[in-house]
Structure 1
């Protein structure tokens, strides 16, 4: 092994930090798709990690010159991982490292930090600016749950989450975009799949990573207000509603402290209770207004349909109400291709083929907004 120089990311301005993050060191990777991107001319590169968890270990994927070359779980505590070594010095190597694991609301001990990069003699080169910036807000689909692994696999575990086999990554790459993800499995617009009203993602949207609980994550900046002005997206893709749909068919959630029950109700004929459907419609309208307030120039695309379309009329009604009340013409509803037996992955969730199909449709939609003069 050659003599290595070790520097924190704060000393390497050419390295692009991916995903929502707080302005502090060491750099914490909170969300799915968080990570780093860089170009380096040296022969050897290592990442120095600090990680921890009680329930779900943090998995990462490594790309080298566009190829997916490694995937592994980062060990708890401090460790070092080789990204490459023995490569020709002087030639630029493009590296992107993505966190596959989502932020973990139910595991306050879950965290992943990059403490520094260790490298043999070489130069970190400036990256080309991205053509676009896109933010994705969603649930387990956007977290890449089941996007890697075999059909029929039912163990809910970190190895079955993928940032790379993910429509968000595929769409962003097709458009030459830098992207950020805000997503949480099982969560919805006004409630989670289990009717838990605490699992409504819009309530956490304005913080760096509001779903990362506990004092340690607070100290890492998770609960700080997110600096929207520092990273303005050209598009925000919202992909919520699947879990609210499931909640209508599930029993009530009971608050363990107060004993109060909460539920989105279905009527005896199986249709949605109009009062609860109106709650979801209002939730759609209010979340669009919140996203627009913080992203004034972005096109807003609400996606739905990969795992059922039961709430489509309700979501569309909320979107139409928002558009009528505000006059906002840069909002669109987009139905994505439905999951099929052939495109199902692990955990009864979309597999790679389903994510690829969704990305093709979404890429085409965003191109009409972001690149109207480019060929279809």
Structure 2
């Protein structure tokens, strides 16, 4: 069989690709297309023997990674070096068969690296683009390192905090969406919580940035890319929102105080002498959780909201229940529920003492059945 040469391939800018579906929050700009969040993706149906994509990767410390899925099966994963270049997605395949292709951002939005970005400029192929199925169910996942897939891939002995050990696919978000045949989006950041990050930094909270495209990113480059723009919620309304937050809020109680370098103000979630949570500080977490539920409902009026928690212990679960009860009593909104996910064990742990693939699978199985029950 003769393989095609690059001279036979037609280049099409991303803004001109017919029937392309973009997954994940981004801006309207497709020249080029920027993917911000983990699990964000470009999806195409291509009838042809060869497909390439032109990417542009930028970073100061933490490089982007991508995974490629063809006809529902992961086939490749790679780190992207700095620069603008072409990547072959497939070649030499049956030119008459239609290939469903998803090119997925495999790492989270890197708030600690303002130079990190991933953009797609164009594709080239000897085939044609066909319509992509629009899935009926839409799910939004909101979380921390667990939802970012930190440690979901890699040996249990790995401890380096590097993008290599993040995965959007060995991840309960991807697994749940696949099981439910759903389109999904992810809003997540390692170390962050509802009230503060694990080290008591009050700026490390997801709700503060939820209404922006990807507001937790820093630097002039990300500002120019549109990360700080308001998110247009009417453009994509989820049927279900899954919140998996609380692990880092718990961590703040067990971590040293954080001092704001600009103001000198000290922040600390305190424990009592007997090791229990300080009542006033726990109440701050509960109030922040109530306010987040209010914020979610304001922007997603019809969605079922599921607070899923427990993959790294469930110590905050009583406070989460109280927050949900307070919210429901104040609003009479009963489309909010809580599900406890299976805790990670020595058998299911992954890299960096985070949930591994098996732990994510167990969580996805529980969450899938819970969502099925809600949707009935």
What is the count of residue pairs matched by the alignment? 370
- The match for 1:43 among 49, 71, 75 is 49
Task: Give, in whole Å, the separation in 2 of the partners of 1:212 and 1:249.
Answer: 26
Task: Give, in whole Å, the separation in 2 of the partners of 1:47 and 1:128.
Answer: 21
SS at match of 2:208: helix
Per the alignment, residue 4 of structure 1 pairs with 9
SS at match of 2:346: coil
Per the alignment, residue 58 of structure 2 pairs with 52
Per the alignment, residue 181 of structure 2 pairs with 176
1:270 aligns with 2:266: no
Cα-Cα RMSD:
0.8
Task: Give, in whole Å, the separation in 2 of the partners of 1:248 and 1:51.
Answer: 38
Task: Give, in whole Å, the separation in 2 of the partners of 1:241 and 1:344.
Answer: 19
Deviations 1:111-157 (A, max 9, x none): 0001111111x211101110200000000000000000011210110
The more displaced of 131-140 and 253-262 is 253-262
Q: Map residues 73-222 of structure 1 onto 2, 5 A cutoff.
A: 73-120=79-126, 122-222=127-227
- The match for 2:292 among 268, 287, 292 is 287
SS at match of 2:114: coil
Whether contact under 8 Å (2:114, 2:218) holds in the other structure is yes
Per the alignment, residue 71 of structure 1 pairs with 77
Task: Give, in whole Å, the separation in 1 of the partners of 2:198 and 2:116.
Answer: 22
Per the alignment, residue 252 of structure 1 pairs with 257
In structure 1, list runs of 5 or more residues that go unmatched.
none
1:326 aligns with 2:331: yes
Q: Could you tell me how far 1:212 is from its partner in structure 2?
A: 1.4
Task: Give, in whole Å, the separation in 2 of the partners of 1:162 and 1:84.
Answer: 22
Task: Give, in whole Å, the separation in 2 of the partners of 1:79 and 1:319.
Answer: 48
Task: Give, in whole Å, the separation in 2 of the partners of 1:212 and 1:157.
Answer: 17
In structure 2, list runs of 5 or more residues that go unmatched.
none
Whether contact under 8 Å (1:228, 1:295) holds in the other structure is yes
Q: Could you tell me how far 1:13 is from its partner in structure 2?
A: 3.4
SS at match of 1:314: helix
1:243 aligns with 2:248: yes
Q: Could you tell me how far 1:172 is from its partner in structure 2?
A: 0.5
SS at match of 2:329: helix
TM-score with structure 1 length normalisation?
Answer: 0.97
SS at match of 1:198: coil
Task: Give, in whole Å, the separation in 2 of the partners of 1:257 and 1:329.
Answer: 42
Task: Give, in whole Å, the separation in 2 of the partners of 1:6 and 1:158.
Answer: 30
Per the alignment, residue 308 of structure 1 pairs with 313
TM-score with structure 2 length normalisation?
Answer: 0.97
Whether contact under 8 Å (1:7, 1:116) holds in the other structure is yes
Whether contact under 8 Å (1:131, 1:175) holds in the other structure is no
Per the alignment, residue 344 of structure 1 pairs with 349
Task: Give, in whole Å, the separation in 1 of the partners of 2:149 and 2:72.
Answer: 19
SS at match of 1:271: coil
Task: Give, in whole Å, the separation in 2 of the partners of 1:105 and 1:129.
Answer: 31
